[in-house]
Amino acid sequence: MSNSILLKNLKESGLKENHARVLMNLIQIKQASVNDISKKTNIPRSSVEIILKNLCKIGLANSFKKKNILYFNPEDPKAIIDTLKHKNDILIESLPLMQELYRGGNSNSEVRFYNEPKSLKTVLDEALSEAQEIIYFGSPDALFDTATPKVILNFIKKRIQKKIPIRVIFQDSPFARKRAELKNQLLMQSKIIDINPICNSTFMVWKNKVALLSSDINHSLVVIENKELADLEKAMFEGLWKTTENYLSVS
């Protein structure tokens, strides 16, 4: 019953019948190849491939390669609603139905893969909508290299407006020191650590979610929702936080 309501609402939001069916099944499966969705929906493979690429183009899904096979995963249900909201507010009532499919009933762990720089904005917006506090470890240079400065600065602005504090441990660099000196303006506590060799990957944690970002050529981004893993990352961060000196600028 819930599937039929969700399918109806997706179509009323402006999606075509097959687009709505593919998206609904992708939400339920969470990670799928073209063949997987084709078998699930009985839609020809060639049509499914076109539909999935269209869903990626309009920001409802993402693609990534694993062992040379192209896989797709849906955006977070809240992001799907935000993307389609301007078309029809009826989708608001579909959020619980999407989340039920997305979580697979008893599942308490989800993993999403992204391979496009623009996806970082989606994840940052997700954190802004959920977080009470954010912790961050890594290189600010890598973060600004992965996304446009406008995306990062807008995130900082909205975070301050929402009064969401952040604690950061930066890898030492001239840029990191400049960011650390702005901590009072940025609702931020910061420490700097000297790591050799420099690691260009970063992680950010809020609530039960961990976002792992690599500044490699593919700008790989993984979001994991799992309480145990988030608690582990928080514990490691806290241990490092206690043993790292506060950064003091020297004029």
Task: List pLDDT tens digits, range 10-51.
Answer: 887 778 889 999 999 998 888 899 999 999 999 999 999 999
- Domain stops at, among 40, 74, 103: 103
pLDDT at 6 over 70: yes
Same domain, 157 and 63: no
Residue with tokens 């609603």: 81
Whole-angstrom Cα distance, residue 60 to residue 45? 19
Mapping DSSP to helix (H, G, I), strand (E, B) and coil, where does residue 96 land? helix
Same domain, 30 and 120: no
Residue 231 domain flag: yes
- Domain stops at, among 103, 129, 164: 103
- Domain stops at, among 56, 88, 103: 103
pLDDT at 251 over 50: no
Same domain, 153 and 99: no
Structural domain harbouring 215: 110-243
The CATH number for 169's domain is 3.30.870.10
37: left (phi over 0), alpha (psi -120 to 50) or beta: alpha
pLDDT at 72 over 90: yes
Average pLDDT over residues 197-219: 80
Residue 250 domain flag: no
Same domain, 56 and 117: no
Same domain, 157 and 90: no
pLDDT at 224 over 70: yes
Same domain, 80 and 175: no
**Residue 172 near residue 156 (C-beta atoms within 8 A):** no
Residue 248 domain flag: no
Percent of the chain at pLDDT > 90 equals: 32
Same domain, 122 and 219: yes
Report the pLDDT value the prediction gives residue 92, as an integer from 0 to 100: 58
Residue 251 domain flag: no
Mean pLDDT of the chain: 82
Report the pLDDT value the prediction gives residue 218, as an integer from 0 to 100: 61
Same domain, 99 and 13: yes
Q: Which residues contact 35 (CB under 8 A, 6 or more apart)?
A: 45
pLDDT at 86 over 60: no
Same domain, 88 and 142: no
Report the pLDDT value the prediction gives residue 127, as an integer from 0 to 100: 93
**Alpha helices (runs of H) in the chain, residue ranges in sequence order:** 2-12, 17-29, 34-41, 45-57, 77-84, 95-103, 119-130, 140-146, 149-161, 174-180, 227-243
What confidence category does residue 249 fall into, taking pLDDT thresholds of 50, 70 and 90?
Answer: very low
| Pairwise pLDDT comparison (205 vs 229), residue with the higher score | 205
What confidence category does residue 250 fall into, taking pLDDT thresholds of 50, 70 and 90?
Answer: very low
Same domain, 59 and 166: no
- Residue 219, CA distances (Å) to 25, 43, 164, 209 in order: 27, 32, 26, 19
- Using the CB atoms, write b or e for 82-92: b if 16+ within 10 Å: bbbeeeeeebe
Residue 249 domain flag: no
Average pLDDT over residues 170-189: 82
Report the pLDDT value the prediction gives residue 244, as an integer from 0 to 100: 80
> pLDDT for 97-128, tens place per residue?
666 666 665 556 678 888 776 788 888 999 99
**Residue 142 near residue 173 (C-beta atoms within 8 A):** no
**Residue 191 near residue 246 (C-beta atoms within 8 A):** yes
User: How many domains, in total, are found in the chain?
Assistant: 2
- Give 28-34's long-range contacts (Cβ < 8 A, gap of 24+): 28/101, 28/102, 28/104, 30/73, 30/74, 30/102, 30/104, 30/110, 30/111, 30/112, 31/71, 31/72, 31/73, 31/111, 31/113, 32/71, 32/72, 32/73, 33/69, 33/70, 33/71, 33/72, 34/70, 34/72
